[in-house]
Structures are given as C-alpha cells and as structure tokens.
Amino acid sequence: MRIILIGPQGAGKGTQAKRLAEKTGARIISTGDMVREEIKSDSELGRKVKEYNDRGELVPDDIIVEMAKPHLGAPEGWVLDGFPRNEAQARTLDETLEELDVEVDRVVALEAPDEALVKRLSGRRQSQTTGRIYHIEHDPPPQNSEEDPGPFVQRDDDTEEAIRRRLEIYHEQTEPLKDYYAERGLLVEVDATRSIPEVTEEVLDAVGERA
C-alpha cells in the first residue's frame, strides 16, 4: 500500500498514519517527525529547521525532499504523512517515484473545519518514549503504563500563533494539491471529524483494505 495523507494541521494525519501502518505493515514517512528528530539532535541543520518549525512555516523544499527521498523505495509500502505540501514537492515526488518505478495507490484528504482543529491541537500530547500521539479528552495518555510511560509533552509549534500560521499555509499551498491529485483520479476525501477508529475504517475502505 502506498498512500499520501493530506490534511490541515490536527486533522489526524499522524494519528491515522500510525494506525494504518499497524494494520497494513506499511512504513510511516512523516516529514514532521523527521524535522523534530533533527531538532532534537541539535545538529546545525536541526537548529536551522527549528526556526521554521516553531513559527509554523514550511521548511525549505530541498531540505524536506532530502529527508523523505531515501525512504520512498521501501518494499513494504508507505504512508506519507505531511509530504508533499506544495506543488513543487508534489512534482519532485512524481519524478522520484517514476525513477523508482512505483506508484501511489491513493491520496487521502482528511477534512475538518479550522475551529475543530485548533481545539484538537491545543489538547494534543505526544509520548517522548514511543512517539504515540494522544489527546487529553479524546484519547488520553495512559497513567502508570509500562508500555508507554511517557512523559507526554506538548509540541513547540502547538502555540496559537503557530497553529494559525500553519492553517493559513495549508489553505494557500497544500489544499490546491487536492485538485492536482483529483485530476489524476487518485483523490478520496474522508470526513475527519468522526471518531479516530471510524476515520481509519473509512481510509482502509478507500484504499481497498479492510480493518
């Protein structure tokens, strides 16, 4: 299975990518996670990308493409979470997939209104041990769990200002990719305001794999 998840910030791309990977064995390629790993390593590149990340701006395309490219040939298939995010990245992805002789099965657009997203992001917590994403109301972090002891932290870019900027960039640059993929017959839109398991079911239906 090779699918691309498109969606505004907080629509559940990371949440669904993890669930889809668990159910299908596909690899998760999350450029956001790669950016955060680089920041954590405190490398020169990490310090550079942190400035973009914390402001809610896109990291320059060449850096993101270099991060994603080595994973695209994975034989187990993949779920792309957060890449491509503009037309230039989509075109580079097309070229790379052609070189690798692999095809995208589906592009899934997770749809939710901005107001719901701001609420979701302010309640998001991520485990520093497992990377799993939680929500303080909808999917609370476990207490005293050996499987996931946490700590459960808020992301540096989940400030109101950065969230607003990320949504603005999504509508300007990423949302037009829906037309880009619809023209190729690859797009399917999924209502992401439903519960987390319901969204997973609908995505699996759309890509032809049952939960």
Query: Distance (Å, rounded) from C-alpha 154 to C-alpha 122?
Result: 8
Binding mask 103-122 for ligand AP5 (x = CB under 6 A): -----------------xx-
Q: Which is nearest to 175 in space by CA: 111, 126, 106?
A: 111
Catalytic pick from 13, 18, 36, 125? 13
Distances in Å between the alpha carbon of 207 and those of 86, 95, 97, 181? 23, 23, 19, 15
Q: Which is nearest to 65 in space by CA: 55, 80, 54, 53?
A: 80
Query: Distance (Å, rounded) from C-alpha 151 to C-alpha 136?
Result: 13
**Residue 10 in the binding site for ligand AP5 (CB under 6 A):** yes
Catalytic pick from 2, 18, 36, 166? 166
194 is known as an active-site residue: no
Query: Distance (Å, rounded) from C-alpha 94 to C-alpha 99?
Result: 9
Query: Distance (Å, rounded) from C-alpha 32 to C-alpha 14?
Result: 9
Residue least distant from ligand AP5 (Cβ): 32
**Residue 82 in the binding site for ligand AP5 (CB under 6 A):** yes
**Residue 52 in the binding site for ligand AP5 (CB under 6 A):** yes
55 is known as an active-site residue: no
36 is known as an active-site residue: no
Question: Smallest distance from the beta carbon of 63 to ligand AP5, in angstroms?
Answer: 8
Catalytic residue positions, numbered? 13, 85, 124, 155, 166
Point out which residues bind ligand AP5 (CB under 6 A): 7, 9-15, 31-32, 35, 52-53, 56-59, 64, 82-83, 85, 89, 120-121, 123-124, 133-135, 138-139, 157, 166, 192, 195-196, 199
